[in-house]
Each structure stands twice: as structure tokens, then as C-alpha cells.
Amino acid sequence: LATLLNEAAIATACSNATVISNNQVDFALDKLQIGLRRPSHAATKVRECVAVHEAGHACAALLSDYDNVSKVTILPRSNGVGGFTAFSNAAADEGGLPTRARLLKELQVLLGGRV
């Protein structure tokens, strides 16, 4: 939590703001989880493939009644990720080991990104 708020404070200072907003916290969370945005030098065809791939994950999650999609991006990141689909983990409250049904839904979502 301290690292997240430190990154948000740095983003706030860089934007000459005086109060940390939700946008800066969201930026900091993305930076810590998936890396910094980097300029995209990819061809249009590659960006289209990444978009279809990430949309496949999101649609599969919707159709399989998996967790809610909280964010989809096709912006490249510093850690080599070309796109990213984030889910709100509704099943975290279940505790314990995941059920067979949950694992099958997760597999469907993972395979939904295949182009």
C-alpha cells in the first residue's frame, strides 16, 4: 500500500497537482501491476491482433459468467505486455481452493484470447 501511494504521490507531483486523485492511484496501480506505458511502434495489423486477442478474453469472461472485466487495454507496457485484460476477482470471497467449475471458466477465458 505504501508503494502504491508513493507512486501515486510521484504522479501527482509530476502533474503539478496538490492532492492525490483516483486517476493518479489508478496510474500507479497500473505501473506496479503491468509496467509503464511505452510508445507503440507496432504495425496496424499487430495492434488489431492484440485488440482482438484482448477482446476475446473479455467476451469469454462475459459468456462464461467469470469475474467482471474491470479494464482492457492494448497499450504496450514496459514489461513486454502488448495488451492487458483485468478482472475484478469476485471469487476471492469464496476462500480456499478454486472449484473445478471455477478452473474450467478460467481456462475458457484464457483460451478466449486465441486469435
pTM: 0.73
Half-sphere exposure (CA, 13 Å, Cβ side) for 42? Answer: 19
pLDDT in tens, 56-111: 999 999 999 898 898 898 888 877 778 888 888 766 656 678 889 989 999 999 99
User: Which residues, in sequence order, are bridge partners of residue 73?
Assistant: 84
At residue 37, the 3 state secondary structure works out as strand
For residue 98, the one-letter residue type is P
> Which DSSP string do the residues of 57-91 spell out, in sequence order?
HHHHHHHTT-SEEEEEE---BTTS-S-EEEEE-GG
Please, are residues 28 and 7 in contact by the beta-carbon 8 Å criterion? yes
Three cell numbers at 94? 469464496
Q: What is the CA radius of gyration of the chain?
A: 17
Mean predicted confidence (pLDDT) in 11-24: 93
* Residue 41: band (very low, low, confident or very high) from pLDDT cuts 50, 70, 90: confident
Specify whether 106 is catalytic: no
Mean predicted confidence (pLDDT) in 14-37: 89
The confidence score (pLDDT) of residue 52 equals 93
At residue 55, the 3 state secondary structure works out as helix
Q: Which of 7, 54, 94, 106 is catalytic?
A: 54
Whether 20 has a pLDDT exceeding 90, the answer reads yes
